[in-house]
């Protein structure tokens, strides 16, 4: 078996599992409790100094 075939079989089996775990971790990180306030504050950054017009 060549190196390419070995790496391909490894990626077929464990690469998909790894990518699935990374995706699940990212989703859990985004929807963790208490994250809403942080994302709300970050979303309001462009409007922070909106009281005066641009020069």
Q: How does pLDDT run across 3-55, given as a tens digit for each residue?
A: 999 989 888 889 889 999 999 999 999 999 888 888 888 888 888 877 766 66
Q: What is the pLDDT of residue 54?
A: 60
pTM here is 0.61
Q: What is the pLDDT of residue 12?
A: 86
Q: What is the pLDDT of residue 29?
A: 93
**Residue 13: C-alpha distances to residues 2, 18, 21, 51 (Å):** 17, 9, 13, 55
DSSP the chain: --HHHHHHHHIIIIIHHHHHHHHHHHHHHHT-TTHHHHHHHHHTGGGTT-SS---
Q: Where are the domains of the chain?
A: 3-44
Q: Can you tell me the distance from the alpha carbon of 53 to that of 55, in angstroms, rounded to the nearest whole number?
A: 6
């Amino acid at each position: 078996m060549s190196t390419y075939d070995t790496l391909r079989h490894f990626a077929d089996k464990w690469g998909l599992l790894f990518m699935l775990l990374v995706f699940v971790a990212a989703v859990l990180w985004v929807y963790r409790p208490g994250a809403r306030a942080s994302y709300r504050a970050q979303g309001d950054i462009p409007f922070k100094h909106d009281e005066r017009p641009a020069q």
